[in-house]
Structure 1
Amino acid sequence: MTARASFWNRRRAGVRAEAEAEARVQEDARVTALQAEMAEKGDDAILEEMGLPDPDKMESGDDFAAFMAQEVPTHLRNKALRKLWRSNPVLACVDGLNEYDDDFRAAMLSGGPIQTAYQVGKGMMSHLEKMAEQEERKEALAQADQIDEAVPEDEAPVVEIVDEPFTDPEELVTADAPTEEPRMRRMRFEFEDAGV
């Protein structure tokens, strides 16, 4: 295609786009003027003038498409759509599984900072660490329960209490001597050989 032909093709497309934009502006102005005129009238007069049925009296199976015209005022269109949704059991059954049911702007509109477990540079690590600690505790408790069940009563551990002198920790602390742990009574456990 020559440069001359492509120029005229672009020019024709530009003129066509300008004409379409002007037609849209004129149509919008006409609809706005018509809706302003209709706003002064009552609903019954508008429905009679446009030849539309009363949306409150419509039932399932009626033609609601006439209310989708641009000339129909928005409040009448919405009234007809509400009646359509209530009249059709498929549309009226709201199961809550639609992703657009929730208002996801609520967090933005709350005005305060959003609380999150995310930490910059670490991600969700604190949450994962807490979950890991809980799992370790559960496993330790489960192992302790298994050990308790594994030792029969006749093979219970023998507990021997050994008396060792107890020293007050304040007596051990001196300026010259290093701090030592006090010696306390300790329990010693001895298990009989199970012969395994």
Structure 2
Amino acid sequence: MSEARDFWSRRKAAVEAETEAEDLATEEQAIAAQHAALNEKSDAEILAEFDLPDPDHLQSGDDVSGFMAKAVPDRLRRRALRRLWRLNPVLANVDGLVDYGEDYTDASCVIENIQTAYQVGKGMLAHVEALAAAAEAEDAAPEVETETPEPEADAPPEIAEEPAPEPVVTAQAEDAEEDYLPPAPRRMKFEFEG
């Protein structure tokens, strides 16, 4: 007898789900038809029809619940919410700690055919190797000697004066072995009572 109840209770639940789905589908069709009719009208006409204020001129404390109705087009709802977020200091001031606040999927910022020195699994290895090879090539290149102009015969030879050498200061080292005292050994002492 319990099997019969289970079957009929499941059947009753399925019928109720079908009626709810049909009601939802008819409601969605009605909203879609209403949105199609509203798409032909301007925003000012839609606001007058629903008796709503201009979303761009909302002030702090104004009621925006009228914009949340299903019949109101999304573009007007978004304008009202943007204005609300700008007016409310709690919503307007993001603290900067939002990890994923930036849109990194913006295709307009992508540079086509970008060339980088980064290699997956190797990092910047090729770039570093190229810099090292260039540095070795510079070191291995023979130095080019510059020709010095010969002095004219009429001019007296110039004698370069060498600077006087600086005196070397030496420090007298004291006997380090006598002054060095090793640190005293430290030992832990334990005392037990009883």
Name 2:176's counterpart in structure 1.
194
Are 2:122 and 1:95 equivalent residues in the alignment? no
Identity %: 47
Count of paired positions: 130
Instruction: Note the C-alpha offset of 1:46.
Output: 0.7
Q: 2:171 aligns with which of 141, 151, 154?
A: 154
Name 1:70's counterpart in structure 2.
70
Q: Show structure 1 runs of 4+ deviating over 4 A.
A: 104-107, 109-112, 115-119
d(CA) in 2 for partners of 1:22, 1:101: 39
d(CA) in 1 for partners of 2:80, 2:102: 24
CA pair 55-117 structure 1, distance change in 2 beyond 3 A: same
Consecutive unaligned residues of structure 2, counting only runs of 5 or more, are 122-169, 181-194
Q: CA RMSD in A?
A: 3.4
- The CA deviation string for residues 54-87 of structure 1, in whole angstroms up to 9 with x for no partner, is 1122111111111111100111001100110111
Consecutive unaligned residues of structure 1, counting only runs of 5 or more, are 120-152, 157-191
Name 1:128's counterpart in structure 2.
none
Are 2:30 and 1:13 equivalent residues in the alignment? no
Instruction: Note the C-alpha offset of 1:155.
Output: 6.4
d(CA) in 1 for partners of 2:62, 2:100: 28
Name 1:60's counterpart in structure 2.
60
- The CA deviation string for residues 71-121 of structure 1, in whole angstroms up to 9 with x for no partner, is 0011100110011011111111122222341335469x9688xx98985xx
d(CA) in 2 for partners of 1:106, 1:67: 29
Instruction: Note the C-alpha offset of 1:193.
Output: 6.2
Name 2:41's counterpart in structure 1.
41
CA pair 116-22 structure 1, distance change in 2 beyond 3 A: farther
Name 1:23's counterpart in structure 2.
23
Structure with more of its chain in strand, by fraction:
1
Instruction: Note the C-alpha offset of 1:53.
Output: 1.4
CA pair 13-116 structure 1, distance change in 2 beyond 3 A: farther
CA pair 100-13 structure 1, distance change in 2 beyond 3 A: farther
d(CA) in 1 for partners of 2:73, 2:58: 18
With CA pairs under 8 Å and 6+ residues apart, which has the higher RCO, 1 or 2?
1
TM-score where L is the length of structure 1: 0.55
Structure with more of its chain in helix, by fraction:
1
Letter aligned with residue 96 of structure 1 = G
